[in-house]
Structure 1
Amino acid sequence: MAIWIPDLSSREGPKYLRIVEAMAEDIATGRLAEGTRLLPHRELAYQLGVSPNTTSRAYAEAVKRALLKGEVGRGTFVRSSGADPAQAEPESLKRPESGPIDLSRNLPMPGFSEQHIRRVVAEIAKDTGLGSMLDYQTDTDLLHHRAAGQTWLARCGVASDLDCIVPVVGGQHGILSVLMALLQPGDLLLAEALTYAPVLAMAARLNLQAGAVAMDGNGVLPEAFEAWCRDAKPKAFYLTPTLQAPTTATLSEARRTRIAQIAAQYGVILIEDDVFGPLKSDKPTPLAQITPETTIYVTSLSKAVAPGLRVGFLKAPAKLAAALHHAVNLSVWMTPPLTLEVASRLIKDGTATEMTKQQQRIARQRQRLVQDILGMAAIPTPSDGFHVWLPLPEGWRADVFSSECARLSVRVSEARSFAMNASDAPEAIRLCVSHEANEERVQRGLEIIAGVLRQKPSGSSMVI
């Protein structure tokens, strides 16, 4: 059988994704048959003239997409189309009731939101003002939506004038709007060394340079940020100070204060992603409250209230608000007024706060489950949220560990999925305990992971 070497010459984007795209295309056309054993990732790297980290990351992503499976001691193989129940919809966000246990997606619980949203939608249907929400608007037309955003921001610990609040279609749209509004092609965007992966895709799409700011176990290092500011000219620094994804670290007050000072000194815009902030019971002061003139604050109801409620708010320095309004208008013309109305009513009558408390209760319950099964020693940073950071024991590689979990029908995310530079990724795994609605499935998945942790890596034979 011929050895599979992908042709990447006509593809664009990150090299590891080019490999995955070529693989998916060749599987779909039959050029790469199911059951085919692929070259070890280091040998493929040699054949392609790329780094082993690139091919390792490509294989890990292909396992995550259910294109490949790794078998300990044997190698990496193209999955059989009929062997995996998830193969038909590898990218589906549906909550599984059977098949592989998905601990890779960081989504909150949806179950208890339906009754509240059903009630609010019924109230809106009876409202004489419904017609205005079915017409074209700008995000400045309905002031009471921004007033609701002001209330939500206050609950997040951020004070704001109405003119500085920009409604958006969830946190991800908010981040994209900020980058579109404030950065030009070629500008340098900094982010934590391990970060929210879509931000890197946004930076690439907007032709931005990207720089990784070093971290330790307590989060991003202020001195590393200052070194970038001193040696380069970053325009903005995107970071998640609270319940950082993927590491769960929460920056101390001291580090926040120092980062705020550095940003003010060098004129760098801080983009504070705080979508997980409402889940944190003892959250430190937001950067937007410490240095409001240099920070754009991003919050959302999707992580803390209901995942399908795609509503968020930006809080901008007054001098930047107009640019952000324009970016929202450019990208979606208007944040849908009807969805904003649902969110606004939930915020105004206190239901959103109660729904957040429910999310917090479930998060605490599932975090206790993690500690009971994996042990406190395995989890260096206990989390108030729905994700868990799991450094692997010595000898384990994250891609091999992820592949072994996938073989046992448990999906996890390895650190390289979040690394700005794959070579800097630690051997660690992120687990998410809320995508699975059935707690018994979460427990079973954690027990399988505990079993894999007890295995002894067998050195080079385990490398995929």
Structure 2
Amino acid sequence: MIVSDTIFTTALGAAGKSKFKALAQAIRAAIISGQLAPETKLPPVRDLAYQIGVTPGTVARAYQLLIEEGRLVAMVGRGTFVAAAPRSPAAPSPATLAADDRMAQAAEVAHLLSPKMPDMGQGQMIRDALHHLAETMPTEQLLRYPDRQTDLAARLAVAGYLDADRIGAFTVEDIVTAHGGQSAVVMILQTILHGARPVVAVDALSYGGFRYAAAMCRADVVGVPWDADGPDPAAFEALVKAQGVQVFCTASEVCNPTVRHTTPARRTQIAQIAQRYNVHVLDDDCYRLMRTAHIGPSYRALLPDLGWHVVSPAKSISAALRIGFALAPQGWTSALVRTATFNSFGVTRLMTDLYAHLLAQPGIDAVLDGVRDRIAQDIRAAVNVLGMYRLNWSEDVPFLWLELPMGWRSGEFLQAADAAGVLIKSADDFALRDGRSVHAVRIAVNGLVPHDSFVSALYVLRDLLAQPPQRISV
């Protein structure tokens, strides 16, 4: 490992836009001087990036440049090492050149860790809306705390996009604003959970925010396995009876990370069990793009007195819009409003009016259509490149689930992808600590990455998938 990152930090101080070249030069100098001895293992891309304050792509490009010079050697599944001796690279084949070009291009921009929406005009819309609010909002509103009246415009705006047939009957008074979808999840758990050690059930592979929210509420978490139709009813009931589960956090439309949905029939089964044991069900509906078809009724519709629903614009308009909405079941709105008030005194009018103004713009539907079309374009490209592997996908979901072929383990593949400059998430990021090991990765569609660069990153992953580490069993 590199003993000290000081010389690299110093070298990067005045590097400007060529930080990867400055980093490569610092590593090169350390090798020539003997500070980095032959066969020394370098830190993983992410670790060094964090240590010296640059992006992982910068480190990946520097490593790749030195690999091409023969000063470093990348060993799939093991890491990146100082070469035993500087060597002149052999004349590459056309196929190798193509793979290297893809790797170099991907290393610059392939941050596929979290879904981000492409700019289809909403960036300028947000700028215009901010100018409009700055000019028109009364000074008094800029100086006061928010309340249930100041966020009414936002609640009315989101109500226009909610389907009562799917989520159950509601009025605008049933909608409670939050600082994003994750904030809504936390507020709901704070409202529901009681006792010294409450228990929260989540899908065995699920959005990590559920676990983080449960931890904030000092709750234990148990995982519900899935079959082809969704959460396993027998396993769910057994956990409820044995563990005293108070709330089940799930996503019936899009399970993050597997892209799977719970069938309408299975939702009914789970709802019947929840009703029998008085278990609340929190249905996170943040990952299906706005204005797309849904698969069935939400748990809020199936459980009028126990079903909760969460939505946000982060996966349809912009993650920078830190606003989310929670719909409480019958009889719980006042308690949820009280929780929201105790948490933060509400969401600032600067955000609620911004959201309402955006949704009132004549061009917002075209923006939403453009976002959906661009996401679909990337998803189709991913299916074309990686379709020979086991891949879960949907054109209106901004990520894919890739089950790794024999020979690859998720941790090793993640490390190899990092070294190649493609940043993705392992199945371990979505599993409980004591859950079953799954060798798979989630590939997010980052709309801020140009489509051609996204495709190049996919080819880098395909090149890696075709070359699993060689192991000898003894």
Could you tell me the TM-score, scaled by structure 2's length?
Answer: 0.75
In 1: Cα distance, 2:371 partner to 2:385 partner? 21
Which residue matches 2:213?
202
Cα 1:234–1:433 shift into 2, 3 Å: same
Structure 1 residue 276: deviation in Å? 1.5
In 2: Cα distance, 1:243 partner to 1:310 partner? 21
Structure 1 residue 372: deviation in Å? 1.4
**Residue 229, structure 1, aligned to residue 240, structure 2:** yes
Structure 1 residue 109: deviation in Å? 2.2
In 1: Cα distance, 2:472 partner to 2:393 partner? 30
Paired residue for 1:391, among 387, 403, 415? 403
In 1: Cα distance, 2:430 partner to 2:263 partner? 22
**Residue 179, structure 1, aligned to residue 189, structure 2:** yes
In 2: Cα distance, 1:178 partner to 1:36 partner? 50
Which residue matches 1:265?
276
Which residue matches 1:89?
none
Q: Secondary structure at the match of 2:235?
A: helix
Structure possessing the higher radius of gyration over alpha carbons: 2
Which residue matches 1:26?
none
Which residue matches 1:193?
204
In 1: Cα distance, 2:158 partner to 2:349 partner? 13
Which residue matches 1:107?
116
In 1: Cα distance, 2:420 partner to 2:249 partner? 36
Q: Secondary structure at the match of 1:109?
A: coil
Aligned length: 397
Structure 1 residue 420: deviation in Å? 1.1
In 1: Cα distance, 2:341 partner to 2:252 partner? 28
Output aligned runs, 1:270-309, within 5 Å: 270-279=281-290, 280-309=292-321
Deviates more, 1:332-341 or 1:432-441: 432-441
Paired residue for 2:251, among 240, 248, 253? 240
Which residue matches 1:372?
384
* Superposed CA RMSD: 3.4
Aligned partners of 1:102 and 1:436 also within 8 Å = no
**Residue 143, structure 1, aligned to residue 152, structure 2:** yes
In 2: Cα distance, 1:284 partner to 1:153 partner? 14
**Residue 439, structure 1, aligned to residue 451, structure 2:** yes
Unaligned runs of 5+ in 2: 4-34, 51-55, 64-72, 83-104
Q: Secondary structure at the match of 2:201?
A: strand
Q: Secondary structure at the match of 2:108?
A: coil
Q: Secondary structure at the match of 1:329?
A: helix
Deviates more, 1:289-298 or 1:124-133: 124-133
In 1: Cα distance, 2:144 partner to 2:405 partner? 57
Percent identical pairs in the alignment equals: 23
Cα 1:444–1:38 shift into 2, 3 Å: closer
Deviates more, 1:434-443 or 1:344-353: 344-353
Deviates more, 1:69-78 or 1:208-217: 69-78
Cα 1:244–1:372 shift into 2, 3 Å: same
Structure 1 residue 100: deviation in Å? 5.4
Q: Secondary structure at the match of 2:293?
A: coil
Residues 419-453 of structure 1 deviation map (CA, whole Å, 9 limit, x = unaligned): 01354131101001225421121011000001111
In 2: Cα distance, 1:260 partner to 1:61 partner? 42
Structure 1 residue 118: deviation in Å? 2.6
Aligned partners of 1:299 and 1:312 also within 8 Å = yes
Structure 1 residue 377: deviation in Å? 4.6
Which residue matches 2:471?
459
Cα 1:460–1:387 shift into 2, 3 Å: farther
Structure 1 residue 256: deviation in Å? 1.3
Aligned partners of 1:391 and 1:427 also within 8 Å = yes
Cα 1:391–1:60 shift into 2, 3 Å: farther
Which residue matches 1:153?
162
Deviates more, 1:445-454 or 1:351-360: 351-360
Structure 1 residue 128: deviation in Å? 5.7
Which residue matches 2:75?
72
Aligned partners of 2:156 and 2:172 also within 8 Å = yes
Q: For 2:132, give the aligned amino acid.
A: E
Residues 122-174 of structure 1 deviation map (CA, whole Å, 9 limit, x = unaligned): 33334364642542122355433322232232389434112211011110111
Deviates more, 1:398-407 or 1:414-423: 414-423
Q: Secondary structure at the match of 1:246?
A: coil
Which residue matches 1:320?
332
Q: For 2:456, give the aligned amino acid.
A: R
Aligned partners of 2:120 and 2:370 also within 8 Å = no
Cα 1:299–1:351 shift into 2, 3 Å: farther
Residues 372-398 of structure 1 deviation map (CA, whole Å, 9 limit, x = unaligned): 111265314445211000001122111
In 2: Cα distance, 1:235 partner to 1:108 partner? 34
In 1: Cα distance, 2:377 partner to 2:256 partner? 20
Deviates more, 1:436-445 or 1:116-125: 116-125
Structure 1 residue 195: deviation in Å? 1.3
Q: For 1:72, give the aligned amino acid.
A: M
